[in-house]
Amino acid sequence: MKYMRAMKKVDKGQEQPEIVVLKIKLEDLLDAMVNIEAIKSSIQRQILLGNRKMGGSKEQTAQDVKDFGKDIDTAITAMTMIYGLMEENGFEEIVATKKGGTGEWIRL
Q: Give pLDDT, residue 10.
A: 43
Average pLDDT, integer, range 11-28? 70
d(CA 76, CA 37): 8
Cross-sheet strand order for the sheet of 93-99: 2-9, 15-25, 93-99, 105-107
Amino acid at 99: K
Asked whether the beta carbons of 91 and 24 are under 8 A apart, the reply is no
**What pLDDT, in 10s, does the model give residues 89-104?**
888 988 877 666 556 6
- Please return the burial class of 15, using the count of CB atoms within 10 Å of its CB with bins 0-12, 13-18 and 19+: exposed
The answer to whether the predicted template modeling score (pTM) of the entire model surpasses 0.85 is no
Check whether 23 has a pLDDT greater than 80.
yes
Domain span at residue 27 reads 2-107
**What pLDDT, in 10s, does the model give residues 64-88?**
999 999 999 999 999 999 999 889 9
Element containing residue 16 per DSSP (H, E): strand 15-25
**What pLDDT, in 10s, does the model give residues 3-12?**
444 444 445 5
Number of domains in the chain: 1
Tell me if residue 95 falls in helix, strand or coil.
Answer: strand
Whole-number percent of the chain with pLDDT over 90: 55
